[in-house]
Amino acid sequence: MSNPKPSSTSRRCHHCHRPVIGTASRCPDCRKLRRAPDRAYRQELADALFPPAARAALLGRIASGEHITDVCADLGITVNRARGYGTYAPAWSRALDLALTASRDPALDHGTAMAYRHGRCRCPQCRAAKNATRA
């Protein structure tokens, strides 16, 4: 007698066709093999969407005192893209935080949610204070 066919509800890996549990499209081994190529693809995409010239312009304008949301709007990118690029380049996150810290308003009480909300400060201390109010 032949082996019974798997039920139509069982899922199989898209790569090796082994059964998978849950809603994943690949088995754990195939997912591990895909991590490096997927990350390289996302890095390449991030570089194309936020090129070095735009990154340099953003840092220069923030350091000169312009607000990050205004600069991002002028450059045609979102603040999330500018901040999120740090996922692929930790040095970018540090450089952006340094520029935001250097250009912050000395009249504000930094490290408070009020400076983030009303003073529009986006330095690391004000972002941390704003995020602490969420928890």
What are the backbone angles phi and psi of residue 20, rounded to the nearest 5°? Answer: -120, 150
CA–CA gap between residue 72 and residue 46 (Å, rounded): 15
3-state secondary structure of 99: helix
3-state secondary structure of 11: strand
Alpha carbons within 13 angstroms on the beta-carbon side of residue 43 total: 10
CA–CA gap between residue 31 and residue 25 (Å, rounded): 9
- pLDDT, tens only, 98-122: 999 999 999 999 999 999 999 999 9
pTM of the model: 0.74
pLDDT tier for residue 57 given thresholds of 50, 70 and 90: very high
